[in-house]
């Protein structure tokens, strides 16, 4: 359906130990018969060694599809780098397409690693803590909270480092029962119970939502060994994992206040129980707009809320409402989607200034669509 598809690799293009099973880098490029550009982050150090070492480890057919190097996040005078660029091109016979400068205060979503950057805070902060279990997923759910000027945000693995919070959020998980056991073994269950006794709030998202219930059943061994686990018991519901994963974009409203929400679901569990009689959202999908359904649950004491929606905090009005629910008076409505778009445009402008779009078109053998 598209004239051009750009594929981003993951990790190194020359993982020798993974070559036979590589589906994310050069193995994919070979199978799809596509040209390749390799990008090095010079700000980390060792940029030239990275590029030369990668080139040396590629096979002949892989080298033949390599169309250029790009050096990213360079600080300083480009003229001081030029002798190195000339040497690199001569050494590998691969053109350097451009050097993208370091862009201060640029926010682009992290890929696999947790991003600990914080925005500038004012004196009226809400303290938010996210426990980091071993198989935590979808950490970009919390980027807007990290960058929000009224939120002091912390990822914590060690429960002993918990020094109090207004809101604890349980994130998604790639293996819910295993991470639930980790929460219990590492002391987080006790921390959460005490936090609630002191009047704090808790939100669970996707796998974190499932953990808030009374039981999680995995009869087929979808995520771990077949069996059942006791949940935290904070919501009257049970979840059964099944072989058919739910994957869908959703939109709708929060029932309290009719505030708009949109995001996505990706989970293998189906939840049932009394708690779901107090849903949080009414949702639809694009392919079935005439079939609304409910999502989420909220406890009788209004302290615990759960939902399957990823991207829950990205809508400005809903974010402000949830922060007020958690205890932040006069919460700002931060427009996170616009912040994301503005930063993508900043990056795109810098890249195009260094490597004109027409050069990409020529490199790929296509006409300029503009």
Tokens linked to 1: 């359906």
pLDDT at site 358 = 86
Contacts of 365 (CB under 8 A, 6+ apart): none
Cα(19)–Cα(85) distance, integer angstroms: 28
Token output for 176: 């819910």
| Positions marked catalytic | 206, 310
Burial label for 173, CB within 10 Å (0-12, 13-18, 19+), is buried
pLDDT at 113: 61
pTM: 0.80
Task: Determine the Cα–Cα distance for residues 235 and 215; give it in Å rounded to an integer.
Answer: 10
Kindly report the backbone phi and psi dihedral angles of residue 290, in degrees, each rounded to the nearest multiple of 5, phi listed first.
Answer: -95, 10
Question: Which residue positions in the chain have pLDDT lower than 70?
Answer: 111-124, 368-370
**For residue 115, what pLDDT is reported?**
65
Tally of CB atoms within 10 A around 136:
21
State residue 116's pLDDT score: 61
pLDDT reported for residue 368: 63
pLDDT at residue 14 in the model: 87
Phi-psi region of 233 (alpha: psi -120 to 50; beta: other; left: phi over 0): left
Which long-range CB contacts under 8 A does 109-112 form with residues at least 24 apart?
109/140, 109/143, 109/340, 110/139, 110/140, 111/10, 112/10
Cα–Cα distance measured from residue 188 to residue 133, given in angstroms and rounded to the nearest whole number: 10
């Amino acid at each position: 359906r598209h004239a051009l598809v750009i594929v981003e690799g993951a990790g190194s293009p020359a993982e020798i130990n993974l070559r036979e099973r590589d589906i994310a880098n050069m193995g994919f490029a070979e199978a799809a018969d596509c040209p390749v550009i390799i990008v090095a982050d010079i700000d980390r150090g060792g940029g030239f060694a990275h590029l030369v070492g990668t080139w040396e480890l590629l096979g002949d057919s892989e080298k033949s599809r390599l169309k250029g190097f790009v050096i990213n996040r360079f600080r300083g005078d480009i003229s001081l780098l030029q002798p190195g660029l000339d040497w690199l091109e001569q050494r590998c016979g691969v053109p350097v397409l451009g050097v993208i400068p370091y862009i201060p205060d640029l926010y682009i979503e992290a890929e696999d690693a947790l991003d600990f950057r914080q925005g500038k805070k004012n004196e009226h902060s809400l303290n938010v803590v996210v426990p980091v279990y071993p198989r935590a997923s979808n950490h970009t759910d919390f980027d807007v909270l990290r960058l929000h000027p009224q939120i002091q945000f912390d990822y914590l693995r060690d429960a002993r480092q918990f020094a109090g919070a207004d809101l604890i959020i349980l994130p998604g998980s790639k293996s819910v029962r295993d991470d639930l056991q980790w929460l219990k073994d590492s002391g987080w269950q006790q921390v959460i119970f005490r936090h609630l006794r002191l009047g704090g709030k808790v939100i669970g998202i996707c796998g974190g939502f499932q953990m808030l219930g009374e039981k999680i059943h995995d009869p087929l061994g979808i995520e771990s060994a077949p069996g059942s686990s006791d949940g935290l018991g904070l919501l009257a519901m049970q979840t059964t994992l099944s072989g058919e994963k739910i994957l869908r974009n959703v939109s709708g409203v929060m029932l309290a206040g009719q505030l708009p929400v949109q995001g996505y679901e990706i989970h293998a569990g189906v939840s049932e129980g009394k708690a779901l009689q107090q849903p949080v959202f009414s949702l639809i999908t694009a392919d079935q707009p005439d079939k609304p359904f409910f999502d989420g649950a909220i406890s009788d004491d209004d302290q615990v809320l759960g939902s399957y929606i990823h991207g829950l905090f990205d809508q400005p009005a809903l974010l402000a409402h949830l922060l007020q629910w958690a205890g932040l008076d006069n919460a700002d409505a931060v427009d996170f989607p616009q912040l994301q778009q503005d930063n993508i445009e900043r990056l795109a402008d810098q890249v195009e200034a260094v490597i004109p779009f027409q050069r990409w078109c020529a490199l790929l053998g296509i006409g300029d669509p503009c």
